[in-house]
Structure 1
Amino acid sequence: MKHQKNIIAAIALILAIAGCKKYEQFPVDKVGIDKIFDPRDSAGTNAQKYLYGIYSVLKNGHNRVGGDYLDAASDDAVSSASSPSNIVTILSTGSYNSYNLPNEENLFGAYYAGIRQANEFVTHIDVVPVLAKYKGYSMKYVWKSEARLLRAYFYFELVKRYGGVPLMGNKVYTITNDLTLPRNSFDDCIKYIVSECDAVQDSLLTFPIADPEADSHRVTKGTALALKAKVLLYAASPLFNGGNIDASNPLTGYTDFQSSRWAAAANAAKDVIDLGTYSLVSEFKDVFLTQNNPEVLFIRQGDNSNSVESANGPVGFPGANGKGQTSPTQDLVNAFPMANGLPITNASSTYDINNPYNNRDPRLAKTILYNGAQWLNTQIQTFEGGLSKPNSSLQQTKTSYYMRKFMGNFEGTNNYTAHSTDWVIMRYSDILLGYAEALNEFEGPTTNVYNTLISIRKRAGINAGADNLYGLKAGITKDEMRTVIQNERRIELAFEENRYWDIRRWKLAENTMNQPRTGLSIVKAGTALNYNPVNVLTTKFVTPKMYLYPIPYDEVQKNPNMKQNPGW
């Protein structure tokens, strides 16, 4: 059995290290558990490589769901691919069950593999006599804290998909152990994740990172506090806090409502703010292009390339080879206010239906490419028959829009060049918006709620206005402010894997996803443009059971104690 454990550990190490670009692989025939956690290795070289391999379990969200962004399964976009078996289309139309939930989102096994790797590390690292220290802590203790926080993050990813899941503690299970573990309650899981964040926060690296070239991908104290804030925000949200899809079922949420959960979420977000080390960068696009900036709290390391442009850039530019994979919806475009901060539906907004993209929130042009937008030294043409909507067999936009977010500054260049493609998992504006949301739910639209939203709108480039409210209305109700915050999250965090989960935790998916996704057919007549709304996809949210994924069929079959989620 010891030999078998060594083989399992060796394979896990090799696979993990292969996914981390900074480190060399070990020879297959020379790796065992005693080599990884070596009591003679005072530098902890092999153990550190194993730890860094755990980071490879993190998902890179760029086109990760069958070639699409997860947001293309929400109301913010559709896939430009024509196949009805497109994975995001399966998700957005509810065409899945416990047998066939697509692997890109059926991450039960993937995250438990990561949890096992973290447990291997936590269990064995103590034998390694690491001499290095960090702020008084043995470096191996810092590494152990990293593994624990990554494990906590993996549990969060499971809980937001499935509800309560089995908690493994630090135990590394083998085939001789009883693996018929029951699911822990949702409450147990939230408490465990939060307690892990609390336990490790002070023994992690702190931002700014001393050696960002080597360590920018590693979790920090800020990451721990941000994860705690995110977890508590989800736990306080309607889906889990008073809106449980199975009211008496502790696996699918709390069985009661407590407003204090909103207070806990607000306080956790405030802890991140009070660190005083994170801030909004002045240029919105730089969040994703400038590495190690003070808005980023947690990343999945990418490479330097133009892969985002190749997959999502507009078609019609010879040499650029964009595939236009992501078609943003008209619903998302309409969500962006005017430059004065007023919604386009407001009579005072100055919105012009014949010039729909003029004087809009600057984030629109930094998130979406629309007809007439500048790109590669020319103007985008998404009118029917235009350069980027040729109406040929070529894959192209279905909505008249292309995604622009995450791409380099190519408005005035002729070609794409390489840039950072790190996937930002958590950033400071997400925490600010979570703080505003939780505080509004607990206390109402206080001055702190207003000021938090103003800081985000000010960075976006919205005009202050005579009242310095950046388009916000004075004296609004809690319900009105909730709508404002939800829309602000939508436009600020578009395509960052938030909207898909937000409409679920707010229990809005049964409304937003049971209507067609829309775009425009723009017809050019001489110099005039006619903007015609079109339906491009009928999405479905069939029943409330879809607020949580089904536990994979195989897991339920092999474990009689693994209860399935309601309705599946």
Structure 2
Amino acid sequence: MRNTIKLLVLLFLVTGCEDFFSPANENIRNIDAMYQEPTYAQGILANAYILLPYSAFPNSDVATDDAVSNDNENNYLQMATGSWAANDNPMSRWQGSRNAIQYINLFLQNADEVMWSKDEVIRTMYNDRLKGEAYALRAVHMYFLLQAHGGWTEDGQLLGVPILTEPETTESDFNVPRNTFQECVDQIMSDVEKALELLPLDYGDISDAEIPEKYKEMGVTNAGDYNRVNGNHMRGRITGRIVEAVRAQVALLAASPAYSSGTNVTWEDAANYAGIVLDRINGVSGLDPNGGTWYANIDEIESLGSGVTPPEIIWRSDISQSNDLETDNFPPSLYGNGRVNPTQNLVDAFPMVNGYPISHPDANYDPNDPYANRDPRLNRYIVINESTQGPNDDIIITGTYGTNNDVINKENGLSTRTGYYLRKLLRPDCNPNPEFNTEQKHYTARIRYTEIFLAYAEAANEAWGPTGTGTYPWSAYDVIKAIRNRAGVGTDNDDPYLEECKNDKDKMRSLIRNERRLELCFENHRFWDLRRWKVSLDKLNETARGMQIDKPNVDPVYTTIEVEPRVYKDYMYHGPIPYQEVLKWTNLKQNAGW
């Protein structure tokens, strides 16, 4: 998929042979060149894929209470500690996603004229699929724009971004106002519906009997013709299933406390849209038993065919062979830079293995042995003192009694600042040691089923309470029980804390939010979740803490330390419109406070 897109973009950027020998003025081709050259046309759409803002690195997590960076030049560190501004915004999607939408609109305006095939029916199938991709990608980019730039203005309006459905030209009026947040949501939902009409649920080779009815009516009788357009070789591109998941994400955002008073999207809507996605895998019974460690399921990753997704994954990136994540985040003794340091705040959020939060009187938590009998996910996601990491299971000592740079604050810009190193997202069989430089396969999980399960649980609890149901037969309680059971939490005692929460909507809300924090940590969700939940400013500014472990005698001494403040203002629940854009265009209102 990656190589195909690169080729398409290359074809889009260069001229054909005829133009090479007889170049046009300045060697620039007109847009109508795409009409007879499908690869040139697809090159335009390919740019919208390239500009997708999903990241394999946990960038935004270091701007939350979940992690810090040991790199003082890190943009997200600087943002979290007071430098976030309308002219200095590492979270901005304005340029990238708006550029993508321009390419998409250009493609949609001209797609019907492209000679995708000399066979009219096959041409129609190609046109359907590619236009479906375009509508779907526009919905994705609009979602990211809303998340990053939607917000309330000084005059009390909840605005989104300017809606653009036609390509801009030199004759366009660029001084256009922002549409309301609700209008943007409506536009996304409209694009979703168009995409679902045109895209297959999944790509894959089918038999003659499985040809969709609409194409049978056009005269398609040979599955080979359909497979040529929508077969296995297309896997990796956006599908109907992915679009349904994006719709669920948009609905959850719009129904959340930070936006709900300015939209007509309800918690019931959000639950039902998530339910559509989950119903396709038989609901709670379809939760992947190995989904919590998707990044380290080595046999599964190694066996993935081109574009194939494992049971946990709705949409993923292409597979790359690298050790970049490990070089960035392994401890220095393993030739890493130890960049992302999980906080004590996050460590404290992992319950005991019996299911109780560590602050609960029935937790049996021992502050003198704080890692004993904890949620198994703690050690799966975070390198704690004296646990192992790397291809040889080396013991990592972060306590002050250690003898190398793994020790907390031993070497500026290299050692952990919190007493913890990152394990999640990393493959233990990578080896950044220059002597070996072992690389392995990685991919970015763009959308996971677990995320949609948690979205359903959150919305269902708000809509019908912990055990209530709507269109689908699973409750918030059912979902959270399944997720905690998969994690190994409360399995030996029937999870009494969950049973305690099942009769209290507020307690269940807190539990769901905490489960989301744990399951999706280091996947760039926490920053946005805190804001859409409209948590208190004190919570937004919770100081990032660490754990210093001394061993003056035989027994270790654990001391919680303050590591890094968070400096967010009361208007920073919503990101800004870029300062230079507001300067240029008088009709573009800024979000309040910026």
Instruction: Give me the TM-score of the superposition, normalised by structure 2.
Output: 0.82
Whole-Å separation in 1 of the counterparts to 2:131 and 2:536: 39
1:328-343 paired onto structure 2 within 5 Å: 328-343=342-357
Q: 2:69 aligns with which of 72, 79, 86?
A: 79
What is the CA-CA distance between 1:476 and the residue it aligns to? Answer: 2.7
Larger radius of gyration: 2
**Does 2:182 match 1:187?**
yes
Change (3 A) 1:51 1:266: same
Instruction: Show the counterpart of 2:10.
Output: 25
Say which of 558, 566, 574 aligns to 1:548: 574
Residue 158 (structure 1) aligns with = 145
Contact 2:314 2:449 in 1 (8 A): yes
1:445 maps to which of 463, 466, 487: 466
Give me the identity figure in percent: 32
Q: Which residue, 493, 501, 504 being the options, matches 1:477?
A: 504
Instruction: Give the match for residue 193 of structure 2.
Output: 198
> Which of 386, 389, 404 pairs up with 2:407?
389
Map of 2:563 onto structure 1: 536
Where 2:115 maps in the other structure, the secondary structure is coil
- Aligned residue among 92, 95, 105 for 2:80: 92
Asked whether the equivalents of residues 382 and 522 of structure 1 are also in contact (C-alpha less than 8 Å), the reply is yes
Give the TM-score normalised by structure 1.
0.85
Map of 1:364 onto structure 2: 378
**Against the structure 1 CA distance between its residues 33 and 431, is the aligned structure 2 distance closer, same or farther, given a 3 Å change threshold?**
farther
SS of the residue corresponding to residue 10 of structure 2 reads: coil
| Cα distance per residue 1:201-220 (max 9 Å; x no partner) | 24224347559985443111
Query: What residue identity is the alignment partner of 2:407?
Result: K
SS in 1 for 2:332: coil
> For residue 250 of structure 1, what is the aligned residue in structure 2?
none
Judging changes above 3 Å, is the alpha-carbon distance between structure 1 residues 413 and 453 closer, same or farther for their aligned structure 2 residues? farther
One-letter identity of the residue aligned with 1:561: N
Residue 11 (structure 1) aligns with: none
Comparing 26-35 with 341-350, which one deviates more in the overlay?
26-35
SS at match of 1:348: coil
Output the amino acid matched with 1:117: Y
For the structure 1 residues 109 and 382, does the alpha-carbon distance in structure 2 shift closer, same or farther, using more than 3 Å as the test? same
Partners of 2:274 and 2:452 within 8 A in 1: yes
Aligned length in residues: 524
Q: What is the CA-CA distance between 1:34 and the residue it aligns to?
A: 4.5
Looking at structure 1, the residues matched to 139 and 578 of structure 2 have their Cα atoms a distance apart, in angstroms, of: 21
SS of residue in 2 equivalent to 1:525: coil
Q: 1:312 maps to which residue? A: 329
Structure 1 residues 381, 36: closer, same or farther in 2, change over 3 A? farther
Alpha-carbon distance, 1:272 to partner:
0.5
Q: Distance in 1 between matches of 2:552 and 2:203?
A: 55
Whole-angstrom CA distance in 2 between matches of 1:451 and 1:509 = 29
For residues 459-511 of structure 1, what are the alpha-carbon distances to aligned partners after superposition, in whole Å with 9 as ceiling and x for unaligned? 22224244466854254311111100010000000011111000000111512
Residues 30-57 of structure 1: CA deviation (Å, up to 9, x unaligned): 4734576233x4xx33323432332110
Alignment match, 1:234: 253
Structure 1 residue 128 displacement after superposition: 1.6
C-alpha displacement of 1:337: 1.1
Equivalent residues in 2 for 1:415-494, closer than 5 Å: 417-446=438-467, 448-467=475-494, 471-473=498-500, 475-494=502-521
Unaligned runs of 5+ in 1: 1-15, 243-252
CA distance 1:135–1:419, change in 2 (3 Å): farther
One-letter amino acid matched to 1:331: N
Deviation of the 1:21 alpha carbon: 4.7
CA distance in 2, matches of 1:239, 1:135: 46
1:214/1:308 CA distance change after superposition, 3 Å: farther
| Structure with more of its chain in helix, by fraction | 2
In the alignment, what sits opposite 1:55?
49
Q: Distance in 1 between matches of 2:67 and 2:120?
A: 47
Root mean square deviation, CA, Å: 2.9
- What is the CA deviation profile of residues 346-375 of structure 1, one whole-angstrom value per residue up to 9, with x for unaligned ones? 222232222222222121112111111121
Which residue in 2 is equivalent to 1:270? 275
**Compared with structure 1, are the counterparts of its residues 309 and 351 closer, same or farther at alpha carbon in structure 2 (3 Å cutoff)?**
same
1:273–1:394 Cα change, 3 Å: closer
3-state SS of 1:268 partner: helix
Query: How far apart are the structure 2 equivalents of 1:195 and 1:350?
Result: 52
SS in 1 for 2:562: strand
CA distance in structure 2 between the aligned counterparts of 1:457 and 1:207, rounded to whole angstroms: 29
Cα 1:524/1:562, change in 2 over 3 Å: same
Counterpart-to-counterpart distance in 1, 2:178 and 2:15: 38
Gaps of 5+ in 2: 17-27, 151-158, 206-229, 469-474
2:547 partner SS: strand
Going from structure 1 to structure 2, the CA distance change for 1:113 and 1:474 (only over 3 Å counts) comes to closer
Asked whether the equivalents of residues 175 and 585 of structure 2 are also in contact (C-alpha less than 8 Å), the reply is yes
Tell me the amino acid that sits aligned with residue 139 of structure 1.
Y
Q: Does the 8 A contact of 2:92 with 2:149 survive in 1?
A: no
Counterpart contact for 2:375–2:489, Cα < 8 Å: yes
Deviations 1:215-262 (A, max 9, x none): 4431111111111111111101100113xxxxxxxxxx44xxx6x611
The aligned residue for residue 4 of structure 1 is: none
SS of 1:508 mapped into structure 2: coil
Residue pair 1:457, 1:470 contacting (<8 A) in 2 also: no
Q: Give 1:532 shift.
A: 0.7
